Structure 1
Amino acid sequence: MDFDLTAEQQLLRDGLTHFLAARYDLESSRKAVKTGAGWQPEIWRAFADELGILGATLPESVGGMGGGPAETMVIAEALGHALVVEPYVNTVVVAGGLLARIDSPAARGVAEKIAEGDAIVAFAAAEDSSDDLGTVTTTARRDGDAWVLDGFKALVVDAPLATHLLVTAQTDDGVGLFVAGYDADAAGVTAHAIRTVDDRQAADLELSGWRIPADALLATGDDALAVLHRAVDAGVAAICAEAVGAMRKVLDDTVEYSKQRQQFGVPLSSFQVLSHRMVDMLIEVEQASAAALLATIKLDAAPDERARAVSAAKVTIGRAARFVGQNAVQLHGGMGMTEELAIGHYFKRLSALQYEYGTTDRHLARYAALTTP
């Protein structure tokens, strides 16, 4: 099988990489997340208008360019390498990919806004630490020409930035999937803002009589769960690619630092034990890259085959991110965790990635369940 990028995919990667190198510096990004709006809206607008990456992987029917999982992998890896905090995976990969697969005016309308750069969608599914999409206590009841939602959604990443919410709630026909415009000040919604350890914006959401339009319901029961699992698996594959990009940057910076930093009058890179440690880091990165590629390739396979590949990648990425991140910090010494040095920020992101869309342990359990006769 040919794993090489096509000419178009190489152009996509090179164009995005050059853009990020020229216009996405770490200092501005950290300033935005710590003291500003939490992101850079002008960068998001450029993603849509100048690069077209917000619609690159969405179908032409919603204004996209018809790309697929391979294009998503290329984009996510480049974003991870630059430590981009803008909500690409949650909005474009998970929400956009899900909405583009549902035949309804509401879904199509929001998907078109995503491709145009006019919508940020937060995925409000988790209610506790179980990550079980089928276990939902939030309820939705019909009231005239509206749905009324009551319940709680935990750690909804990107909620403070969101224009729309993708919400799961229990209906009379099983788990329901809803999409609706979101305003943190709307009646029936109480948002408790959180900044995560890796400088992402999030919130716990209390829903108490939140009224949304009747056409906000996209699917129920098995149909809703099937499209949800497909979308979340796509999100996992994307963050695996993002982690690979971040780990490559961390490894490159560590190798470069070891050549410059001297101890006992010689560079750190001249010590054999440290060289061996960096080779071990490289092996972990390459294994992670192969696992992320396999997960990407298998996204259009049968559900069980897709789930096995995705969970295997998440477990591999979790192990690699921990090993590479911790060793990079150790090899940098005390400087590794300072705000001034990039390595500390990448370490925090790699640590958080191990828990997004299911922990390493949860995916290991899913893989075991899917491979047990």
Structure 2
Amino acid sequence: MDFELSAEQQLLRDGLAQFLATRYGLESSRAAVKTGPGWQPDIWKAFAHDLGILGATLPESAGGMGGGPVETMVIAEALGHALVVEPYVNTVVVAGGLLSRIGSDVANTVTAQIAEGEAIVALAAAEDSSDDLTSVSTTARRDGDQWVLDGSKALVVDAPIATHLIVTAQIDGEQAGSGQPELGLFVFPYDATAEGVTAHAIRTVDDRQAADIVFAGARVPGDSLLLTGDEATDALSRAVDEGSAAVCAEAVGAMRKVLDDTVEYSKQRQQFGVPLSTFQVLSHRMVDMLIEVEQASAAALLATIKIDAAPAERSRAVSAAKVTVGRAARFVGQNAVQLHGGMGMTEELAIGHYFKRLTALQYEYGATDRHLARYVELTAPPR
């Protein structure tokens, strides 16, 4: 595949890489997630105002720069390389992309807040271990000028730091206007202590923050309903595919860092008086890691350039990338830890933190097995 970044995209990549190299240290990041607020709000503000990456892919009408999927890929890969925990993919790519395409007053307001670094938006869609985000038992009923939510959402990533939630819920047929229950997409300000809301905070294995949320008669504004029915399903499907493509790019950035660190370690670490890199079997192992990274990079690029394609073509490319990247992340992560020996999983060494993130990325926006099944379904010949 013959592909080159434009001059503007190269400047975006280089500027972000330089910023992260000088201002985003692993030690300060780990301190923030383990003993501090869980993230670095000053870094998030710098992303918005110093670098402009929070608005780089959002429409100009919302204060963004109107970039596209390639800009998203460039940013996500750089963030993965630096092991950034701030919620770029969830807030900007998934929520920002979804809201900017809807175009309602509420959606435009939240999108503008995202671009300014003022809003963190979490997607509350999953309810169990199923990857079908449109199959929900949470309900929403109209009561006067408000909606009342009842139900629960599982493992809502970034919820403890979120200012807004995007929630999926079933609306009864009469209120939906179709006579049949329909899926509804809602966005509203989030307060974990609000009446009718119970949140149980969780820290994930890769040091992200999440929460299980229960709504029991929780009231949200009447204008929080964004879409219903097939429009809601299609919008959610595209947003999740965009998130999948972005985390594939993030994984590629993380794998490149892991591979570079492993090669450098093999040159320094000695056994029997010679560097590990001189052992042929270990050199071959690192070549295999490189091949996996390059295959993952190509698959992530294909998913990126297919984001604006027809839904079936887009989903097919995204699932192919998720499977390819998931396999590569497992292979590269496990071999990097093994080649580092016992040090590979220590808190002091970066490789262990990257390994945890690469493991988690295999399950974000659909596990590898689920995407493999979807790819088979989308490529099967008609019966």
TM bucket by the smaller chain?
over 0.9
Query: For the residues of structure 2 that align with 1:131 and 1:47, how far apart are their CA atoms?
Result: 31
Q: Which residue of 2 aligns with 1:112?
A: 112
Query: For the residues of structure 1 that align with 2:217 and 2:6, how far apart are their CA atoms?
Result: 50
Q: What SS does the corresponding residue of 2:67 show, helix, strand or coil?
A: coil
Q: Which residue of 2 aligns with 1:130?
A: 130
- State the shift of 1:3 in Å: 1.0
Query: For the residues of structure 1 that align with 2:32 and 2:206, how far apart are their CA atoms?
Result: 13
Q: Which residue of 2 aligns with 1:328?
A: 336
- State the shift of 1:321 in Å: 0.2
Q: Which residue of 1 aligns with 2:305?
A: 297
Query: For the residues of structure 1 that align with 2:364 and 2:193, how far apart are their CA atoms?
Result: 27
Query: For the residues of structure 1 that align with 2:330 and 2:15, how far apart are their CA atoms?
Result: 30
Q: Which residue of 2 aligns with 1:24?
A: 24
Q: Which residue of 2 aligns with 1:178?
A: 186
Indicate whether 1:198 and 2:206 are aligned. Answer: yes
Q: Which residue of 2 aligns with 1:258?
A: 266
Instruction: Kindly provide the amino acid, as one letter, of the partner of residue 346 in structure 1.
Output: Y
**1:261-300 equivalence runs, <5 A:** 261-300=269-308
Q: What SS does the corresponding residue of 1:206 show, helix, strand or coil?
A: strand
Q: Write the deviation string for residues 108-142 of structure 1: whole angstroms up to 9, x where unpaired.
A: 11001000110000000000111102201000000
Q: Write the deviation string for residues 211-245 of structure 1: whole angstroms up to 9, x where unpaired.
A: 00110000000000101101110000000000000
Query: For the residues of structure 1 that align with 2:380 and 2:222, how far apart are their CA atoms?
Result: 42
- State the shift of 1:208 in Å: 0.5
Q: Which residue of 2 aligns with 1:146?
A: 146
Structure-1-length-normalised TM-score = 0.99
Query: For the residues of structure 2 that align with 1:305 and 1:128, how far apart are their CA atoms?
Result: 28
Q: Write the deviation string for residues 127-173 of structure 1: whole angstroms up to 9, x where unpaired.
A: 01111022010000000000000000000000000000000000123
Query: For the residues of structure 1 that align with 2:283 and 2:248, how far apart are their CA atoms?
Result: 26
Q: What SS does the corresponding residue of 1:113 show, helix, strand or coil?
A: helix
Q: Which residue of 2 aligns with 1:34?
A: 34
Indicate whether 1:318 and 2:326 are aligned. Answer: yes
Q: What SS does the corresponding residue of 1:54 show, helix, strand or coil?
A: coil
Q: Which residue of 1 aligns with 2:52?
A: 52
Query: For the residues of structure 1 that align with 2:59 and 2:33, how far apart are their CA atoms?
Result: 31
Query: For the residues of structure 2 that align with 1:358 and 1:270, how far apart are their CA atoms?
Result: 40
Query: For the residues of structure 1 that align with 2:301 and 2:157, how far apart are their CA atoms?
Result: 25
Q: Which residue of 2 aligns with 1:92?
A: 92
Instruction: Kindly provide the amino acid, as one letter, of the partner of residue 46 in structure 1.
Output: A
Query: For the residues of structure 2 that align with 1:64 and 1:94, how far apart are their CA atoms?
Result: 15
Query: For the residues of structure 2 that align with 1:216 and 1:2, how far apart are their CA atoms?
Result: 44
Greater than 3 Å deviation, 4+ residue runs: none
Query: For the residues of structure 1 that align with 2:371 and 2:34, how far apart are their CA atoms?
Result: 32
- State the shift of 1:2 in Å: 4.4
2:358 to 350, 354, 359: 350
Q: What SS does the corresponding residue of 1:141 show, helix, strand or coil?
A: strand
- State the shift of 1:61 in Å: 1.2
Query: For the residues of structure 2 that align with 1:135 and 1:102, how far apart are their CA atoms?
Result: 22
Instruction: Kindly provide the amino acid, as one letter, of the partner of residue 122 in structure 1.
Output: A
Q: What SS does the corresponding residue of 1:300 show, helix, strand or coil?
A: coil
Query: For the residues of structure 2 that align with 1:56 and 1:228, how far apart are their CA atoms?
Result: 21
Query: For the residues of structure 1 that align with 2:379 and 2:163, how far apart are their CA atoms?
Result: 40
Q: Which residue of 1 aligns with 2:179?
A: none
Structure-2-length-normalised TM-score = 0.97
Query: For the residues of structure 2 that align with 1:295 and 1:130, how far apart are their CA atoms?
Result: 23
- State the shift of 1:280 in Å: 0.1
Indicate whether 1:213 and 2:213 are aligned. Answer: no
Q: Which residue of 2 aligns with 1:222?
A: 230
Per mean C-alpha deviation after superposition, the further-off stretch among 331-340 and 182-191 is: 182-191
Instruction: Kindly provide the amino acid, as one letter, of the partner of residue 245 in structure 2.
Output: A
- Count of residue correspondences: 373
Query: For the residues of structure 1 that align with 2:282 and 2:234, how far apart are their CA atoms?
Result: 47
Instruction: Kindly provide the amino acid, as one letter, of the partner of residue 27 in structure 1.
Output: E
Q: What SS does the corresponding residue of 1:299 show, helix, strand or coil?
A: coil
Instruction: Kindly provide the amino acid, as one letter, of the partner of residue 81 in structure 1.
Output: H
Q: What SS does the corresponding residue of 2:199 show, helix, strand or coil?
A: strand
Query: For the residues of structure 1 that align with 2:100 and 2:197, how far apart are their CA atoms?
Result: 27
Query: For the residues of structure 2 that align with 1:198 and 1:72, how far apart are their CA atoms?
Result: 22
Instruction: Kindly provide the amino acid, as one letter, of the partner of residue 364 in structure 1.
Output: L
- State the shift of 1:287 in Å: 0.1
Q: What SS does the corresponding residue of 1:193 show, helix, strand or coil?
A: strand
Structure 2, unmatched stretches of 5+, are 177-181
Q: Which residue of 2 aligns with 1:361?
A: 369
Instruction: Kindly provide the amino acid, as one letter, of the partner of residue 209 in structure 2.
Output: Q
Query: For the residues of structure 2 that align with 1:193 and 1:94, how far apart are their CA atoms?
Result: 22
Instruction: Kindly provide the amino acid, as one letter, of the partner of residue 117 in structure 2.
Output: G
- State the shift of 1:103 in Å: 2.3
Structure 1, unmatched stretches of 5+, are none
Query: For the residues of structure 1 that align with 2:124 and 2:2, how far apart are their CA atoms?
Result: 37
Query: For the residues of structure 1 that align with 2:223 and 2:132, how far apart are their CA atoms?
Result: 25
Query: For the residues of structure 1 that align with 2:294 and 2:38, how far apart are their CA atoms?
Result: 32
